[in-house]
Amino acid sequence: MNLSCPICGSENTQKLTLIYSGGVSNSTTNTVGVGVLGGIGFGATKSNGTATSALASKYAPPVKISNAGANTCTVITLILFGFENYITAFAFALISVGLYALNHRHNSNEFPKLLADWQKQYLCLRCETTFKPE
């Protein structure tokens, strides 16, 4: 398999999956504190975070479509039914069902193809061309 860049011929190439995984780091922080001022106080917290390099962000994998919009329409529908505004509630219910259907079609049909295609791609670190090796 030829991993040279088809544009500039450089052999300085890397798979996008490696670029992404090498540019993302997760961290967890635990903090404990004790204080005394007019009484004794104690506190503890835990936080999680993710840092992503600019290169990893630029060549990130495709993502599934969220159902946030459809969920919002569903909540609005339920609220409108509670106020007996049936016509508007029915319209929001139709929008909600349509959004769920579109999201499901993308996430189950198109997303796997996009992800498989992304997993096969390489990046030329000289001219920033992305390509699939022959």
Block means of pLDDT (10 residues each) for the chain, 134 residues, are 94 95 88 78 85 93 90 81 78 87 94 97 96 90
pLDDT of residue 88: 82
Do the Cβ atoms of 109 and 120 come closer than 8 Å? Answer: no
Nearest to 74 by CA among 52, 103, 49: 103
Structure tokens at 83: 């106020």
Structure tokens at 24: 């993302």
Structure tokens at 93: 């219910």
Taking residue 39's Cβ as centre, other Cβ atoms within 10 Å add up to 6
pTM: 0.69
Structure tokens at 106: 């993308």
Amino acid at 48: N
